[in-house]
Structure 1
Amino acid sequence: MVQDSARQTPSSAPATPARALLPSILPALAVGVGAGLLLLGVSAAAEELQHVLWRDLPDALGVGRHSVLWTTAVLVATGLAVGLVVWKAPGHAGPDPATTGLDAPVLPPAVLPGLLLAAALTLAGGPSLGPENPVIAVNVGLAVWLGGRAVPRAPARSWAALAEAGTIGALFGTPVAAALVISEALTAQRAAGPRGGLLWDRLFAPLTAAAAGALTATLVARPSFDLDLPGFGRPGWGDLLAALVVASAGALLGLCAVRALPYVHGAFRRLRHPMLMLPAGGLVLAALAALGGPLTLFKGLDETAELARDPEGWSAGGFAVLAVVKLAALLVAASCGFRGGRIFPAVFVGTALGLCAHALVPGVHPAVGVSAGVLGVLLAVTRQGWVSLFTAAVLVASPSVVALLCFASLPAWLLVTGRPQMQLRADGTAVR
């Protein structure tokens, strides 16, 4: 037995010496801290503007904060403001957001201020998009630009990987999510063509950046994704069945938006000008907000916590309306040109779906319903398996739910794999 073990073929990927990894620590720390600070700065500025638009101004004018009139006025005005930035800013505030994902392109420095301004206006004004995509793009552009000047021999892709990792680490307040995203990307790269080196050697610098970004966010803002749902103990067979069904339903619901994206995007593109597309999108979002209420506005993180605080606060129909309206709002905001990401709105959709399942069948534990619903919707919307599983698990902070989610991810993944993604090519066709 010992001899057989000794004769086993060693790994073909040689380990990287420590002396080759040490020089990457300081650049990774710098990029991670910078990425975290930029994310926090944009989020804080957008939150202050949000308070002005949705609290101070309506109170001063004596109108309802979330009345149909004020909601319509703010969303259309946000569309006009973002449309003006997209129209006049250098580089038109980056590429069409419907064509981008978490893997950001390297944009010229002149494009970054417009993209950052458009993202901040979107976050403050109420469209259902999160900060991740534009902030990652800005951090990638800055890291490549500044890093290329500081260390000209370093490849641009290395700086981009550090910026992506640092931003994702800061976004979730933990480097684990970034490590999972990068591992998935590295696996795809190896499928296209092996590059040698152990996985942890290649993760060393990005994980350092992710840890720096996460620690920066934790020390400054102390983010928490735990929804504080009722405690979940030992799982049973009923919990497994519920997780399988709800995750699959979430995947199917998410695929509805994925299928609709090329058509909705094409309808807005017929308007041809950002000063028409974005205000029109704001008007549609206002109509959706009138249908679903103020909880269906904004990126959805605070609104998700509000839903989870009262799992019995709505009927099954009420939760279903919230899920469908929020998904429609995400679809419209991503199609008409608002700059933002899709993860946080998708989390709201999955949470509402999971609580709908609990309201329909009280035996479905809220923690199981929410985590499985988020898992299914995120798998369809992001097509990122590890991030979907990680996000669903941290929302309920219960180790016993992880095994259920691993099983639930299997049928949900079979439903989404090979299907179109919620991302378009330049010609408007869906990426597969």
Structure 2
Amino acid sequence: MPEPAGNAPDFTQHRVFWRLIGYSALLGVLGSVAGLVFLAVVGLGPRWYGEQQTGWMDGPWWWVPVAMAAGLVVGLLRRAFHSPEKAPGLIEDVEAQHVDHRPVPSVVAISAVSLIGGASLGPEVALGQVGGGAADVVSQRRGLDEDTGKALTLGGIAGAFGGMFSSPVLSVVLVLELARPGRKVFGPALYGSIVAASLSFAIYFTVAGTIFLGIYEVPSFDFADWHLAAAVPLGILAVLVVLATMAVGAATTKAVALLRLPALLTPVVGGLLFGLVGVALPLTSFTGSDQLGVALDKGSALGTGLLVAILVGKMLAFAVSTATGFIGGPIFPVLFLGGVSGILVHQVVPDIPLGLAFACLLAAVPGAIVGAPFTLVLLAALMTQVGPLETAPVLIAVGTASLTVSALKYLRARRSAATEPSVA
């Protein structure tokens, strides 16, 4: 029996809540427009690149000067905007539940050039900045209190992602699971995010007609109880992939710092490096979203050796892009690393179904970095269209990866505390 209206949550009975819903609707419209325009602009790079090649040294050499030119433009934009060395991060913005609107134009411009030029980064940072930055402007001009401003920020980011992910459910769950807002913020943020993400998706789908469902078609497989046990080592493998990625990133950052390049030249050298990697291993270029689909379709033809090289090459391209001043998000490159790892597992151990290995590692590799297990299981389910039973090992793999990383951090902290000299 439905509860009477008088038992509705208290926050819905205040005028500020309905103002929040109205502003969230506007941000949803803005998010859809931003998504349509930005994704169309950054799609120019892959369209100019032409047909996606897959083999050793199959990438076009002419793309190297294009990547270097993109690096030069990035350097000029960073100088013109006086951009800080470290760009805003998506996870940090969501966790803070606040986005400063002032650097948004520079982040969007630099990210657009970065992605057009083939940097191994994703579009989520720029779109999150647009949605969150717009919420910051509304909050300041309308004099919203701190909690309402936080809720509106999360709604703005969810609205910006509603079109990109083509799934309002995924956008809402992602934002709320990352932010983990307090009791006063959660309810308004939930409803505001639903309104913003749903409107954004409706407009985006009407105009673009594209959806996120089944983007990676994996072969169907019959669920077996041993899949649950197999998910545990797959989760541990995901941690090893992340540790390798972090090691490559740290080494690349250190190498770039030792070069002491002028700020304007650093992104040019970065473009040269990931451009050369893209010539040798063309599947490492761009965000990795379309390239992962190609790897999944042609995995058996590529062979184990080439897939390992692609995995390492993507780690290097991602690290170079991040360390040399390009701006973009980590989600899509990390999904690529997870998906390719799953393809490799199936090739090395054919008894593990491709769909199982792919779905588990697609979610578990980012799961070792981001504390959002339900989002990642939902993401894998939507992208691969695996059945309800098959999501159980995916959740186990994500949980294993996340808990393993947490255990490693705990042990490291314990060891550090034990080696510190005691203060009398």
Assess same fold via TM > 0.5.
yes
**Among 87, 104, 107, which residue is 2:100 paired with?**
107
Identify the residue that residue 29 of structure 2 maps to in structure 1.
33
**Separation of aligned partners in 2, 1:379 and 1:137:** 23
| Matched position secondary structure for 1:312 | helix
Identity %: 22
Identify the residue that residue 417 of structure 2 maps to in structure 1.
none
Higher mean alpha-carbon deviation, 319-328 vs 218-227, is at 218-227
Identify the residue that residue 237 of structure 2 maps to in structure 1.
249
- Report the CA distance between 1:154 and its aligned residue: 4.7
**Separation of aligned partners in 1, 2:312 and 2:327:** 21
Identify the residue that residue 213 of structure 1 maps to in structure 2.
200
The answer on 1:358 being equivalent to 2:351 is no
Contact 1:322 1:349 in 2 (8 A): no
**Using a 3 Å threshold, how does the CA distance of structure 1 residues 419 and 179 change in structure 2: closer, same or farther?**
farther
**Separation of aligned partners in 2, 1:348 and 1:405:** 16
**Separation of aligned partners in 2, 1:29 and 1:372:** 35
Identify the residue that residue 428 of structure 1 maps to in structure 2.
none
Identify the residue that residue 131 of structure 2 maps to in structure 1.
139
Contact 1:148 1:154 in 2 (8 A): no
- Report the CA distance between 1:302 and its aligned residue: 1.1
**Separation of aligned partners in 2, 1:306 and 1:227:** 11
**Among 164, 172, 179, which residue is 2:165 paired with?**
172
**Separation of aligned partners in 1, 2:200 and 2:128:** 12
Identify the residue that residue 377 of structure 1 maps to in structure 2.
365
CA deviations 1:234-274 (Å, max 9, x no partner) are: 31134334433223212211122224434432432453533
- Report the CA distance between 1:231 and its aligned residue: 4.0
The answer on 1:75 being equivalent to 2:67 is yes
**Among 268, 289, 300, which residue is 1:279 paired with?**
268
Matched residue type, 2:118: G
**Separation of aligned partners in 1, 2:277 and 2:203:** 36
- Report the CA distance between 1:419 and its aligned residue: 5.6
Q: TM-score, normalising length from structure 2?
A: 0.82
- Report the CA distance between 1:393 and its aligned residue: 2.2
Identify the residue that residue 326 of structure 2 maps to in structure 1.
338
Matched residue type, 2:65: A
| Matched position secondary structure for 1:166 | helix
**Using a 3 Å threshold, how does the CA distance of structure 1 residues 260 and 231 change in structure 2: closer, same or farther?**
closer
The Cα RMSD (Å) is 2.7
Between the two proteins, the alignment pairs up a number of residues equal to 387
- Report the CA distance between 1:85 and its aligned residue: 0.7
The answer on 1:240 being equivalent to 2:232 is no
Matched residue type, 1:173: S
| Matched position secondary structure for 1:275 | coil
**Using a 3 Å threshold, how does the CA distance of structure 1 residues 260 and 384 change in structure 2: closer, same or farther?**
farther
Structure 1 unaligned spans of 5+: 1-12, 57-63, 421-432
Matched residue type, 1:153: L
The answer on 1:297 being equivalent to 2:285 is yes
Structure 2 unaligned spans of 5+: 1-6, 52-56, 410-424
